[in-house]
Amino acid sequence: GENVEQHPSTLSVQEGDSAVIKCTYSDSASNYFPWYKQELGKRPQLIIDIRSNVGEKKDQRIAVTLNKTAKHFSLHITETQPEDSAVYFCAASRPGSARQLTFGSGTQLTVLP
Amino acid sequence: DAGVTQSPTHLIKTRGQQVTLRCSPKSGHDTVSWYQQALGQGPQFIFQYYEEEERQRGNFPDRFSGHQFPNYSSELNVNALLLGDSALYLCASSWGQGVIQETQYFGPGTRLLVL
């Protein structure tokens, strides 16, 4: 089955700096890659997603890049703010009737004021 | 427009007991997926329900079972609870009839503690 590895497990940045979180996946058939943000005690919330027919997607300060050949995708957050502090999860899904999400192990991002 | 709701929010059980968790999907969604999130880990897929049937199952034992009702709401049942079943149980809803992958929206979860 699919396996998703996520790095780093913890990341501290100064407010205003950029943060990058990287994930690799094992199943070359995977074609959908969402990123979720989970604040302490709250539900995972989708922040951005990308499908395999595009290489990059941007939404304001957040961008995701996908390299299908290398089977890795990355989350980029620019101009970080304290409210960006949370755990970020990447996930992958392959085509099929259920399209279950396989998650990475998460990155605890701390933005220092 | 209500989002995904789950009940109860917290639950404490003892080993060997049985538990039922409930989920109501987001309005307009017909598919419910259940995930188990252990402390400090990413969510792990348990199973998915669509048209009142289990469409796919992850690597979880038969002690985990579910049901989907005609109004698309769903239950997760866990029998013979083990200490290792202590986790946050997340329900995610989506629209299951599309050709492409649809976004899964998560509920707030039920935190289960097994003593």
User: What pLDDT, on the 0 to 100 scale, is given for residue B1?
Assistant: 56
Q: Does A36 touch chain B (CB under 8 A)?
A: yes
Best to test chain B binding among A43, A48, A50, A89 (most B CBs inside 10 Å): A43
- In B55-114, the residues whose Cβ lies within 8 Å of chain A are 55-56, 58-59, 90, 92, 100-109
The SS3 call for residue A39 is coil
pLDDT in tens, A28-55: 999 999 999 999 989 999 999 999 888 9
Cα of B16 to nearest chain A Cα, Å:
27
Identify the band that residue A6 occupies on the pLDDT scale cut at 50, 70 and 90. very high
Phi, psi of A10 (to 5 degrees): -135, 150
Best to test chain B binding among A7, A100, A105, A107 (most B CBs inside 10 Å): A100
Give Dmax (Cα) for chain A: 45
Which chain B residues are closer than 8 Å to A4 by Cβ? 42
User: What pLDDT, on the 0 to 100 scale, is given for residue A32?
Assistant: 92
User: What pLDDT, on the 0 to 100 scale, is given for residue A54?
Assistant: 87
Instruction: Determine the average pLDDT of the residues in B79-96.
Output: 95
Q: Are B44 and B88 in contact (CB under 8 A)?
A: no
Which chain B residues are closer than 8 Å to A98 by Cβ? 33, 48, 50, 55-56
Torsion of CA B112, B66, B91, A3, to 10 degrees: 90
A34 and B104 in contact by Cβ < 8 A?
A: yes
Whole-angstrom Cα distance, residue B29 to residue B97?
10
Identify the band that residue B99 occupies on the pLDDT scale cut at 50, 70 and 90. low
pLDDT cut 90: percent of chain A above it: 88
In this predicted structure, the answer to whether residue B72 has a pLDDT above a threshold of 70 is yes
User: What pLDDT, on the 0 to 100 scale, is given for residue A96?
Assistant: 76
Mean pLDDT of chain A: 95
Nearest to B32 by CA among B85, B96, B87: B96
